[in-house]
Amino acid sequence: MAGPRRKLVKEIWWSIEDNTLLFSKPIGEKAYHYRFDSDVWLPGRYERRVFANLIRDMYGVEYSDNRLLLFNRVSLGEFAVAVYGEGLRLGVLEYRGRSWVLHATGALASILVSIGAETVRVETRRRLKSKKIRLDSDREHVIVESGSHVGPAVRVGPGIYKVRDMAPKGFRLLSDTGIEKLVERNEAYLKSLEREAVGFAQRLDPGPNKKVYVAFSGGADSTATLAIAVEAFGADRVTAVYVDTGIEFPDTLHYAEKIASELGVDFVVVESGGVFWRELPREGPPSRDRRWCTAKLKIEALKRFYEHVRPRLILEGVRGFESQARMMLGSVTSSPVAPTARRAFPIYEWSRLEVQLYLAWKGLPTNPLYDKGLTRIGCVVCPAMHLFELWDVSRRLYPYLVESILERFAVLVGREIVTSGDWRFLGGPAEKWR
């Protein structure tokens, strides 16, 4: 079995000529080069609107929420991403408490000035970056201008501002573009990516006419894996297996059924029944370190199903970029749900961006929940969720179901722990917290 790969890096070139992202170095055109060792992706509609709304509220100018942006996960607080756009690093978007915060860069300030943002002139010869200055302004956020440079400053006291960064004037919006253009520019790369993943899967072929099973959650990664399986073995040999935990997003089941139908594969729904509600009083809220829900709602249900079909190969959309734990898995391992099967990850080395472009290239839609704000697809309440996914997305979409679950959590561990989101980090059974 393949051993773990401990370090994954993606190189991306941002073409200035046509505002596209490229996975190979372009010849004869100017492009910014970036190396990422954590996941990167195209933000959905919710994320783009958050970014655009913050710019409007902070600096009083309209930045279209249809601009090409690239997000890169960074370690900061509850959740944060570095935002790239117009070929430049525009800042860090952080979810803090119950609201979003934008830490802008000088490059973003330069772009905003080019589309009409006001500046406050500062006459000085000293470097302003990271310095505190006195300004005659009552705004929380301003863009300061000094000589040939501009930068964002935030108020830290009455009339006192701290300059976060400075950059040269003159950065501007690049040409309009969309995912279709990105697919067009990367088509040869996407073909190679698919060819490699298909070849990987075929080398694990369980034998003529043997069924291949795909763990299908309705998320982008498992959708890409399902498409790879069809290319590798043909639709008639592929079965998509979806686990209904009883607290899934209804949208996801509808999406999964649609994709399975489009690809022409068998679609099996494995139900866990009312296990979640039966086990909750004894187990307490599932947490990141104690996800009993996975074992009892998914693994046990899958064991019962696979006991009858005795699979030889199960493909999953696990990616190393998702987490450190998954990076340590490697691309082939044993299956916790079927001792007769090998568990393999054809897109193990893919970034989320590659998944997005691959699905667009294949003409497969992504789950609509991504555009509504989810970063991953799972249950309506999940300890792996970030707070904004729980409060801003899940509870907004399905208030009754989410509130009923959180109310049960509050009875078991206390309302304060539930409201703060700290239930996601608890350990031990419910009795420990009563």
pLDDT at 4: 47
- Cα 431 from Cα 434, distance rounded (Å): 5
pLDDT at 429: 64
Per DSSP, 372 falls in state T
**What is the separation, in whole angstroms, between the first and last Cα of the chain?**
45
Contact predicate 359/220, CB 8 Å? yes
Q: What pLDDT, in 10s, does the model give residues 23-49?
A: 999 999 999 999 999 999 999 999 999
Q: According to the model, what pLDDT value does residue 326 have?
A: 47
Q: What angle do CA 86, 91, 93 make, to 5 degrees?
A: 115
* Residue range(s) in the chain whose domain bears CATH number 3.10.400: 10-168
**Which tokens hold the place of 138?**
């009552």
Q: Which residues, other chains included, contact 150 with Cβ-Cβ below 8 Å and sequence gap of 6+?
A: 106, 109, 110, 113, 119, 143, 144, 166, 167, 169
Give pTM, 2 decimals: 0.94
Query: What is the residue whose two structure tokens read 């935990």?
Result: 245
Q: Tell me the mean pLDDT in the region 267-277.
A: 94
Q: What's the pLDDT at 333?
A: 86
Q: Single out the residue of 315, 312, 314, 313 nearest to residue 348, CA to CA.
A: 315
Long-range contacts of 95-101 (CB under 8 A, 24+ apart): 95/386, 95/387, 95/388, 98/387, 98/391, 100/50, 100/54, 100/388, 101/54
- The candidate with the shortest Cα–Cα distance to 10, out of 308, 320, 341, 231, is 320
| Token code pair at residue 220 | 């982008």
402-413: pLDDT as tens digits? 999 999 999 999
Supply the pLDDT for residue 334. 86
| Residue 257, token pair as written in the block | 């059924």
Q: Which residues contact 67 (CB under 8 A, 6 or more apart)?
A: 48, 52, 85, 86, 173
Q: Report the distance separating Cα 367 and Cα 292, nearest Å.
A: 26
Among the CATH numbers 3.40.50.620, 3.40.50.300, 3.20.20.70, 3.40.50.2300, which is that of 186-433? 3.40.50.620
- Tens-digit pLDDT profile for residues 55-95: 999 999 999 999 999 999 999 999 999 999 999 999 999 99
Assign domain 10-168 to a CATH class. Answer: alpha beta
Looking at the chain, the domain(s) classified CATH 3.40.50.620 span 186-433
Instruction: Please answer whether residues 234 and 226 qualify as being in contact, where contact means their C-beta atoms are separated by less than 8 angstroms.
Output: no
Pull the structure tokens for residue 162: 């701290």
| Secondary structure class of 201 (helix, strand, coil) | helix
Task: Check: CB of residue 172 under 8 Å from CB of residue 114.
Answer: yes
